[in-house]
Each structure stands twice: as structure tokens, then as C-alpha cells.
Amino acid sequence: MGNKDYHFRQLLEMEACTNCQVCAEVCPAVAASGDGELSAVFRMKGVKDLVRSRSAFFQRLFRRETWEEERGKHFSGTSFRCTLCGNCQEVCPVGIRLKDLWLSLRQDMVHSGFYPKKIEMIRDNLARSRNVFDEENEERAEWVEDMRDAPDDGFIKERAEVVYFTGCVAAYFPLAQKIPMALAELLEAGGVDFTLLGEEEWCCGFPLLGAGLKEMFREFADHNLEAVREKGASRVIFACPSCYQMWREYYPARFRISHATQYLLELLGEGRIPLKETPLKVTYHDPCDLGRGAREFDAPREIIRNIPGVTFVELPRNRENCRCCGGGGNLEMIDAKLSAEIARAKIEEIQSTGAQAVVTSCQQCVRTMTTFVRRNKIPLEVMDITQLVLRALDR
Ligand code: SF4
Ligand code: SF4
């Protein structure tokens, strides 16, 4: 246990917090639970105290005591019950990079032995199977077989210009598999020379960072980079904003990378995906990692506006202020009830717009919102933007 998990900048940022509590007002976990201990400001005070408790200087100056087991366990609860949505960071007037801090804090909690048991499951699954669900990694591209016109090569070529990196959720979760199916069909329609990595695709590493297991991450990144290199590709595309975020921020920049929304917008601009009239009133949910994370707010909106017949209405909280769906930060694995409560607030906000469908650009958001809507028999269609474009495709 130690303060080495924090960057020097982060130790300074802890001292910069003014206790203004603006971060607590936008936190979806606080709103859904009514528990102020889940707020960034509470966590900030705790992490500052934890860091100081380890310093002999601060112990003398402020009589700080070393954290005992019970206190560490309690604090671990707030560290992992957070969706890592980054809304607190977005509004912090001091500009503290809170999301990075929460990742460092989780790593500290793991090193200190204060972490939920589920973290061990995430670690073991990834070490054993290279995907977060502990499925056979050889079956990563089996969803292709369920497509209407599945190609003989299963979309796995020896070499291609573009690699479509599917991510664990889309590869294995039946509810999310419609997304890679839709994107693959659109890429085919657009005449794109693309390939999947199949069993050579490993988890992007996001669950490892979210679980405070940064040490394991490099092996996953190195493997994926090599797998893309072997395909001779110059470009990698992602429908999953978390995979895209990982490649943008944590992988060395060896290839041109794009989120599916950016790539599809290019194809539409080149006239490679013809669209037909599709009457539907939709709203758009900005996934946290694509919106606040990658600052990509416009590409999905431009795609939606390109589809004839679609009526687009904004959510009351949109773009950088968009409310998290509850599916991020490994929260579903740690506290499924809290995740569902956050989804409830999201769905109520969507219903207030009168939209027939909510469109997003993330398989995890689709999964979280669809699960809630189905369980509660709510008449609302939840779809990924790839599914909307496929519906509008003029074949
Ligand atoms: S990242 Fe999101 S869920 Fe976590 S503390 Fe900040 S606002 Fe709350
Ligand atoms: S918004 Fe920033 S400065 Fe204000 S309490 Fe939260 S972390 Fe501290």
C-alpha cells in the first residue's frame, strides 16, 4: 500500500478541491441512491485523507492516523460504486481530472487489499480467457454465423485495409450482437475491405483499468496491436466507445483509429451508403466515453439528420451534460441494483421527449437500457446507431 498509484499532478489536484460540491449535483450514482458518499466531493476528501495518513509529515502535522481495515473497506464501497461517467470532471470548476483520479484510486484500493470480490473474477476471467465474460476466445466471432448472409470466410481475412475491433460485449452478449451484425452489413454495403480479428482479438483492457488492475493491461494492448499489424491494416474502427477510448488514450498511435459513427459519416459523405425514407421520432443518448471522453458529439447527430424521415429531438440533458445510462465503470458487476436505478432515471428522461426510439452509439448503453425497458415492459425502442442506419439502408 502506498501513494505511488497517484501521479504527482493528482496529489496537487487533491489539494486544489474547493469543496464546492458541484460534482455531487450531476452524479448519477448520488441521484439514484440518495447517498452523498458516492459523490466525487466525498471521495475527494477520503482520498486526500488516505494519502495524508501515509505520510509521516502529515501524521506529525495533523495527527493523521493510519487507516484501519474497517475504514478502508467502507471507502472501497464508494471507489467502485461509480460509473466512471466523467460528469463530475466535466463540471468541476477547478478542472480536476477526476476520472483519472478515480482510476488511480481503484488501483490503490486493489494494492491496499480493499476491493470487492468481483474484481478477482474480472482479473481471473481476463487472464484465463482474454475476454471479460470468461467465454472461449475462439468463439469471439461466432455471431457472424447468425447473420442472414454469413460469408464463408466469417469476415476473417488474412489481410485487409480496415480492422473492425468488436469488443467483448458485442462479441458475446446476444442482446448486443445485433450491433456488429449491423456494422458488418453496412461495411459490406459500402464496399469496405475489412476484417475481424476473430480469436486474435483480446479484450481492449478497459475492464482492467476500471478494476484497478493496470499492471495486466500492457500485455493486452501489445497483443492487439500485433494482431492488427499482422493483417496489414492501416485503420481500426470500433463500435464500442470504451474500446475506442482505450486505443485513443492508452495504446501507442500506430494506426488510424475511428469510432463507427465517424467512419459511417465518411461513407455516407462519399455516397457509399444510400438511405431510404425511414419515418421515426428518435432521441440520442451520448455514451460517456464517446461524448465526454472522446468529445464526439456531432458525428452521430449528423448521421441521424442525414436519414430522410427521421425526426430528431434532443434529450433535456445532452452532449457533455448527458446523464449516464448506468452501464459504465464495471458498476453492473459490482452493484447491479444501483446500475438499474441509474438506468431508470435515464429512461424516464428519454420518455419525457416523446421519442419512439432512443439511439446511442455503444453496445453497453444498448444493453443497459434494453434490459431496463424489457424488464419494466416500457414501450420504447432502444437501438445502436448502426442498427438505425441499417434500417434506413436502401438496398
Ligand atoms: S464519474 Fe460519474 S458516477 Fe463517478 S463520481 Fe463522477 S459523476 Fe459520479
Ligand atoms: S467540483 Fe471539483 S472542486 Fe468542486 S467539490 Fe467537486 S472535485 Fe472539488
Which of 38, 88, 49 has its CA nearest to residue 72? Answer: 49
Number of domains in the chain: 3
Closest-lying ligand 1 atom to the alpha carbon of residue 288: 2
Res 1: pLDDT: 53
Closest-lying ligand 2 atom to the alpha carbon of residue 44: 7
Rounded to the nearest angstrom, the gap between the alpha carbon of residue 22 and the centroid of all alpha carbons in its chain is 23
CA distance 26 to 59: 34
CA distance 52 to 48: 6
CA distance 331 to 38: 12
Res 63: pLDDT: 55
Give the H or E element holding residue 253: none
Res 339: pLDDT: 97
Stretch 196-214: mean pLDDT? 93
CA distance 104 to 210: 9
3-state SS, residue 92: coil
Long-range contacts of 264-270 (CB under 8 A, 24+ apart): 264/186, 264/299, 264/303, 264/385, 264/386, 264/389, 265/299, 265/302, 265/303, 267/186, 267/190, 267/192, 268/303, 268/306
CB atoms closer than 10 angstroms to residue 66: 11
Stretch 161-184: mean pLDDT? 96
Q: Are residues 157 and 105 in the same domain?
A: no
Q: For residue 44, how far is its CA from the centre of ligand 1 (angstroms)?
A: 12
Q: Are residues 246 and 159 in the same domain?
A: yes
Is pTM beyond 0.85 here? yes
CATH number at residue 148: 3.40.50
The answer to whether 381 and 309 have CB atoms below 8 angstroms apart is: no
Stretch 290-297: mean pLDDT? 98
CA distance 161 to 195: 8
3-state SS, residue 312: strand
CB atoms closer than 10 angstroms to residue 54: 15
pLDDT in tens, 89-126: 999 999 999 999 999 999 999 888 888 888 899 999 99
Judge whether residue 56 has pLDDT over 90.
Answer: no
Q: Are residues 263 and 125 in the same domain?
A: yes
Res 333: pLDDT: 86
Asked if residue 338 has its Cβ within 6 Å of ligand 1, the reply is no
Q: Are residues 283 and 262 in the same domain?
A: no
Q: Are residues 69 and 209 in the same domain?
A: no
CATH number at residue 48: 1.10.1060.10
Q: How far is CA 21 from CA 32, 42, 96, in A?
A: 17, 9, 13
Residue nearest to atom 8 of ligand 1 (CA): 27
Q: Are residues 248 and 277 in the same domain?
A: no
Q: Are residues 125 and 242 in the same domain?
A: yes
Q: For residue 87, how far is its CA from the centre of ligand 1 (angstroms)?
A: 6
Q: Are residues 262 and 281 in the same domain?
A: no
Which of 17, 27, 30 is the pocket-test mutation for ligand 1 (most atoms within 8 Å of CB)?
27
Res 364: pLDDT: 95
Judge whether residue 60 has pLDDT over 70.
Answer: no
CB atoms closer than 10 angstroms to residue 178: 19
Give the gyration radius of the chain's Cα atoms. 21
Asked if residue 86 has its Cβ within 6 Å of ligand 1, the reply is yes
Category of 134 on φ-ψ map: left (φ > 0), alpha (ψ -120 to 50) or beta? left
Res 61: pLDDT: 57
- Among 267, 300, 332, the domain boundary falls at 267
Q: How confident is the model at residue 59 (pLDDT cuts 50, 70, 90)?
A: low
Judge whether residue 259 has pLDDT over 70.
Answer: yes
**Which numbered ligand comes closest to the C-alpha of 78?**
1
Q: Are residues 255 and 191 in the same domain?
A: yes
- Among 267, 302, 333, the domain boundary falls at 267
- Among 237, 267, 297, the domain boundary falls at 267
Q: Are residues 83 and 95 in the same domain?
A: yes
Give the position of cell 487507516.
67
For 239, residues 6+ apart whose C-beta sits below 8 A from its C-beta are 164, 166, 167, 170, 179, 180, 183, 259, 260, 361, 362, 363, 384, 386
pLDDT in tens, 323-346: 999 999 989 889 999 999 999 999
Q: Are residues 89 and 126 in the same domain?
A: no
Q: Are residues 9 and 43 in the same domain?
A: yes
pLDDT in tens, 218-256: 999 999 999 999 999 999 999 999 999 999 999 999 999
Judge whether residue 157 has pLDDT over 90.
Answer: yes
Q: How confident is the model at residue 301 (pLDDT cuts 50, 70, 90)?
A: very high
The answer to whether 352 and 330 have CB atoms below 8 angstroms apart is: no
Sheet with strand 310-313: strands edge to edge: 310-313, 280-284, 357-360, 381-384
CATH number at residue 356: 3.40.50.11810
The boundaries of the domain holding residue 16 are: 3-115
3-state SS, residue 388: helix
Judge whether residue 366 has pLDDT over 70.
Answer: yes
**Which numbered ligand comes closest to the C-alpha of 36?**
1
Res 291: pLDDT: 98
Res 304: pLDDT: 98
Give the position of cell 477520503.
46
Res 197: pLDDT: 98
Q: What is the DSSP string of 158-211?
A: SS-SEEEE--HHHHH-TTTTHHHHHHHHHHHHTT--EE--GGG----SHHHHHT
Q: How confident is the model at residue 136 (pLDDT cuts 50, 70, 90)?
A: very high
